[in-house]
């Protein structure tokens, strides 16, 4: 067996493609079958009753938005602080990979799995509510962009914390005001500072998009607006993840 | 003339509690193997992290291959920390391939075989024992033929075969010009692989000499280890002719003295009341640990 292994070629692999960090981490996530199954089922536990029972659209959309926000932030924040505790970030930090690249690849690996969760959630809404296809598409893309934004937020929290428990605590402290300012609990005022703050966060758009899918009557937002917001927050999330790569690796150094 | 693999001038990294390292200056030439020895808390790991581009220094300067930019050093630098973190759910081969890819280098054929991991290379790392993970970490550090290798506690978790493999690898790579900096208190390993040895005490480098010179400096000495029941006045041992160092240990004393006829009898005489006090006595030729004791006045094992 040793001889067979000796002659098996292990060729060079670039770190951006298969064999790269994001691919390795993604494969690891897929192989944690039990954890993956729980992850994928978790949003359905909330989405299925909300979609099927005719819950008030505003509150149903609020809960679905909180769910997406939590999925993105907690997954990334907890897994990265755990990676730091195990010494994995130490090992990555001394490789000739730029900090931005490590940040982006770690973010990407988590985001892809999060996207599966959001896709299942949107499919449940499609099956139960039969919304307009463009509305469904814009909501799906907006949920992916919100996951990207939330993932970058989780990464930012991981640059400030050293263990999963601490990360969870800081995430709650950071996320709750953001969700409030996005108008999730009270709606967005028609004008004033809170209106403008809400425009700068993806959660307000996503809540409105979910309301539209649930045949509600959101205070603002149309499919083109949601699509534009999705593109912007996707770029913001990815850009922030790349920018936070170096601080993530620098913590504890 | 080629730049030194590593130059550190006045490197300083202290923590709020006063622990840490520095100022420390050292140089590592191409093909040299410098081992840093020191008791726990002496600053070995902190210094290695600074010199491995992992920790920021608060003072001084480090140059890798003549350049102070850590990012430019990393393509030619490989580091083994004491952590064995991997992506556990994929195979050892896949992890190795990732590290090769990160260095834009091919995976050296047979590296897993040399590391004794050929049969488990395709298995998930989560199934590996600690020693196997350590071997994999070392193999990952060797891909791409780095010019500078930094190893923290390299023999941790390695069995006899693993140590022998690491010794062979370091000898072979040294002949090809690899410079190695390692921190350990495994003196027998250091005596096998090091060309130079540095002693760290309280974050300062108190000695930095070729291994052969250090060992020669304790030639003609003997280490006498005495275990007592109760207290013995160590001054009486220090007063014995030829005694260089006397250091209290947890249950007795370590004595470093010039070899001569009657040395042991004189030491026993100094202890006095042998039937009541003495539990054990051993004598051996001094090696690196005794060099450390002689030069620093402290035992290496703390």
For residue A17, give the 3-state DSSP assignment: coil
CA-based nearest residue in chain A for residue B121: A5
Q: Which of A162, A172, A142 is nearest to A237 (CA)?
A: A142
Q: Which residues contact B227 (CB under 8 A, 6 or more apart)?
A: B251, B252, B278, B279, B280, B281
Beta-carbon count within 10 A of A96 CB: 18
The separation between the first and the last C-alpha atoms of chain A, rounded to the nearest angstrom, is 42
Residue A184, token pair as written in the block: 């999730």
Q: Which ipTM score applies to this complex?
A: 0.84
* CB B81, CB B55: distance < 8 Å: no
| Mode of pairing for the β-strands spanning B6-14 and B20-28 | antiparallel
Nearest-Cα distance to chain B for A5, in Å, is: 6
Q: Does B107 contact A at CB distance below 8 Å?
A: yes
Contact B71 A24 (CB under 8 A): no
Residue A55 has a pLDDT of: 86
* CB B252, CB B282: distance < 8 Å: no
Residue B178 has a pLDDT of: 95
Residue A4 has a pLDDT of: 38
Residue A20: pLDDT band by 50, 70, 90 thresholds?
confident
Q: Which residue has the higher pLDDT, A95 or B233?
A: A95
Nearest-Cα distance to chain B for A34, in Å, is: 13
User: Dihedral (C-alpha) B182, B187, B189, B193: value to the nearest 10 degrees?
Assistant: 60
Residues of chain A in contact with residue B119, where contact means CB-CB under 8 angstroms, are 1-2, 5
Residues 113-152 of B with CB under 8 A from A: 113, 118-119, 121-122, 124
Query: Taking 50 as the threshold, does the pLDDT of residue A80 lie above it?
Result: yes
* CB A39, CB A45: distance < 8 Å: no
Residues of chain B in contact with residue A34, where contact means CB-CB under 8 angstroms, are none
Q: Does B46 contact A at CB distance below 8 Å?
A: no
Query: Taking 70 as the threshold, does the pLDDT of residue A250 lie above it?
Result: yes
Residue B8, token pair as written in the block: 């550190």
Residue A3: pLDDT band by 50, 70, 90 thresholds?
very low
Residue A18 has a pLDDT of: 53
Contact A86 B85 (CB under 8 A): yes
Candidates A11, A96, A247, partner chain B, best to mutate (most B CBs within 10 A): A96
Residues of chain B in contact with residue A15, where contact means CB-CB under 8 angstroms, are 98, 101-102, 104
Q: Hey, which residues does A115 pair with through a beta bridge?
A: none
Percent above pLDDT 70 for chain A: 92
CA-based nearest residue in chain A for residue B76: A96
pLDDT (average), residues A113-137:
92
Contact A5 B106 (CB under 8 A): no
Contact B119 A2 (CB under 8 A): yes
Contact B101 A12 (CB under 8 A): yes
* CB A233, CB A146: distance < 8 Å: yes
Residues of chain B in contact with residue A27, where contact means CB-CB under 8 angstroms, are 87, 89-90, 94
Could you write out the DSSP letters of every residue in A154-204? HHHHHTT-SSHHHHHHHHHHHHHHHHHHTTTTT---SSSHHHHHHHTSHHH
Contact A6 B118 (CB under 8 A): yes
Candidates A10, A101, A102, A245, partner chain B, best to mutate (most B CBs within 10 A): A10
Q: Which residue has the higher pLDDT, B289 or A171?
A: A171
Residue A19 has a pLDDT of: 57
Nearest CB neighbour to A94, from listed B77, B109, B122: B77
Query: Taking 70 as the threshold, does the pLDDT of residue A110 lie above it?
Result: yes
Nearest CB neighbour to A12, from listed B53, B54, B100: B100
Contact A2 B118 (CB under 8 A): yes
Residue A242, token pair as written in the block: 């790349």
Cis peptide before B23 (omega within 30 of 0): yes
Length of chain A equals 253
Residue A218 has a pLDDT of: 77
Query: Taking 70 as the threshold, does the pLDDT of residue A115 lie above it?
Result: yes
Residue B96 has a pLDDT of: 93
Candidates B52, B80, B85, partner chain A, best to mutate (most A CBs within 10 A): B85
* CB A59, CB A211: distance < 8 Å: no
Q: Which H/E stretch holds residue A20?
A: none
The secondary structure of chain B, three-state, reads CCCCCEEEEEEEEECCCCCEEEEEEEEECCCCEEEEECCCCCCHHHHHHHHCCCCCCCEEEEEECCECCHHHHHHHEEEECCCCCCCCCCEHHHHHHHHHHHCCCCCCCCHHHHCCCHHHCCCEHHHCCHHHHHHHHHHHHHCCCCCEEEEECCCCCCCHHHHHHHHHHHHHHHHCCCEEEEECCCHHHHHHHCCEEEEEECCEEEEEEEHHHHHHHCCCEEEEEEEECCCCCHHHHHCCCCEEEEEEECCEEEEEEECCCCHHHHHHHHHCCHHHHEEEEEEECCCHHHHHHHHHCCCCCC
Residues A28-64 have pLDDT tens digits of 999 999 999 999 998 899 889 988 888 888 999 999 9
Residue A85 has a pLDDT of: 92
Q: Extract the residue ranges of chain B whose pLDDT is less than 50.
A: none
Nearest-Cα distance to chain A for B281, in Å, is: 43
CB pairs under 8 A between A and B: 114
Q: Which residue has the higher pLDDT, A69 or A216?
A: A69
User: Dihedral (C-alpha) B192, B47, A82, B162: value to the nearest 10 degrees?
Assistant: 0
Residue B135 zone, left/alpha/beta (φ > 0; ψ -120 to 50; rest): alpha
What is the C-alpha to C-alpha distance for residues A70 and B287, in angstroms, rounded to an integer? 59
């Amino acid at each position: 067996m040793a001889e067979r292994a000796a002659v098996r070629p292990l060729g060079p692999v670039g770190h951006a493609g298969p064999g790269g960090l994001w691919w390795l981490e993604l494969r690891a996530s897929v192989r944690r079958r039990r954890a993956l199954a729980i992850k994928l089922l978790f949003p359905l536990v909330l989405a299925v009753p909300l979609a099927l029972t005719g819950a008030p659209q505003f509150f149903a959309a609020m809960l679905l938005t909180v769910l997406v926000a939590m999925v993105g932030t907690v997954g990334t924040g907890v897994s990265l602080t755990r990676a730091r505790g195990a010494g994995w970030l130490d090992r990555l930090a001394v490789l000739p990979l730029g900090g931005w690249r490590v940040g982006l690849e770690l973010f990407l690996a988590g985001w892809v799995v999060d996207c599966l969760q959001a896709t299942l959630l949107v499919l449940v809404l499609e099956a139960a509510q039969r919304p307009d296809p463009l509305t469904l598409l814009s909501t799906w893309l907006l949920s992916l962009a919100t996951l990207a934004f939330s993932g970058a937020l989780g990464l930012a929290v991981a640059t400030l914390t050293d263990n999963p428990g601490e990360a969870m605590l800081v995430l709650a402290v950071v996320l709750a005001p953001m969700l409030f300012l996005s108008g999730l609990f009270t709606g967005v005022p028609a004008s004033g500072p809170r209106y403008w703050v809400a425009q700068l966060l993806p959660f307000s758009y996503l809540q409105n998009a979910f309301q539209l899918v649930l045949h509600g009557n959101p205070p603002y937002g149309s499919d083109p607006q949601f699509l534009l917001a999705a593109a912007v927050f996707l770029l913001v999330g990815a850009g922030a993840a790349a920018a936070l790569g170096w601080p993530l690796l620098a913590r504890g150094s | 003339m080629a730049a030194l693999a590593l130059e550190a001038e006045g490197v300083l990294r202290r923590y709020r509690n006063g622990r840490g390292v520095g100022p420390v200056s050292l140089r590592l030439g191409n093909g040299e193997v410098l081992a840093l020895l020191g008791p726990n808390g002496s600053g070995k790991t902190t210094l290695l992290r600074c010199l491995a581009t992992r920790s920021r220094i608060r003072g001084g300067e480090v140059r890798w291959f003549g350049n102070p930019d850590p990012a430019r050093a990393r393509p030619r630098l490989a580091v083994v920390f004491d952590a064995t973190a991997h992506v556990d759910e994929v195979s050892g081969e896949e992890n190795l391939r990732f590290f090769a890819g990160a260095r834009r280098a091919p995976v050296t054929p047979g590296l897993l075989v040399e590391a004794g991991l050929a049969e488990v290379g395709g298995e998930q790392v989560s199934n590996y024992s600690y020693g196997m993970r350590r071997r994999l970490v070392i193999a990952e550090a060797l891909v791409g033929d780095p010019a500078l290798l930094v190893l923290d506690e390299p023999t941790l978790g390695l069995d006899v075969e693993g140590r022998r493999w690491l010794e062979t690898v370091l000898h072979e790579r040294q002949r090809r010009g690899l410079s190695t900096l390692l921190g350990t208190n495994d003196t027998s390993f250091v005596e096998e692989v090091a060309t130079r040895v540095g002693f760290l005490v309280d974050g300062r480098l108190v000695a930095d000499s070729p291994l052969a010179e250090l060992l020669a400096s304790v030639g003609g000495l003997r280490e006498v280890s005495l275990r007592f029941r109760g207290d013995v006045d160590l001054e009486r041992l220090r007063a014995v002719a030829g005694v260089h160092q006397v250091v209290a240990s947890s249950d007795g004393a370590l004595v470093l003295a010039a070899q001569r006829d009657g040395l042991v009898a004189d030491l026993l005489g100094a202890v006095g009341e042998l039937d009541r006090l003495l539990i054990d006595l051993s004598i051996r030729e001094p090696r690196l640990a005794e060099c450390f004791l002689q030069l620093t006045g402290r035992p290496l094992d703390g």
